Amino acid sequence: MLVNRMMKHGKKSLAYQIFYRAGIDIRQQTKQNPVYVLRQAIRRVIPGVGVKTRKRKRRKGKTAKVYRIPIKLKFSQALLLAIRWLIGGSRKRSGTSMISQLSSELIDASLKKRCNSIRKKEETYKMAESNRTLAHSRRKKKIKKKSVLKKEKQRLIPESKINKRNSEKIAISTT
């Protein structure tokens, strides 16, 4: 997933080379397993809360207002954001090559706890915290009551099966 996000213009083999060489660079600098460093970096960057923008309908003569509503993220969405932020942070870094940029971003995210991707996570948390009052206005799915669900299930079962069940119950109760 990380390699696919890092890839530009369909050059996957180049993205794999950058990823593997960054792993070698991480092992030389930290004397730790690069997979462990990568996992730890992703774990520290994964956000728990995200922000979605919603537009409120406008009244006559006024423009629509845009609100940022905090929402809880699923793990897959949070993982995607974390990887995107790590790669974006490594691209913003100053360095001679993408290899050194990626390795230094992963090392900083996992060990030093200070990098562009962690800053991005903190900004998202601050935005969610400031717009906490709007959390109630997100759209919720309508949930049907249990009694309605039972009636719908009964409609789906053919009458012949219902009659067989009732006759079996009567036969059991009489014996």
What pTM value is reported for the model?
Answer: 0.70
- Of residues 111, 88, 92, the one with CA closest to residue 36: 111
Which pLDDT belongs to residue 41?
Answer: 92
- pLDDT for the residue 4: 85
Question: What is residue 144's predicted lDDT score, i.e. its pLDDT?
Answer: 47
Dist CA 59 CA 126 (whole Å): 30
- The pLDDT value recorded for residue 147 is 56
Q: Which residues of 44-74 are buried (b: 16+ CB within 10 A; e: fewer)?
A: bbbbebbbeeeeeeeeeeeeeeebebbeebe
CATH code, residues 2-141 = 1.10.455.10
**Which regions of the chain are under pLDDT 70?**
61, 135-175
Domain residue spans of the chain: 2-141
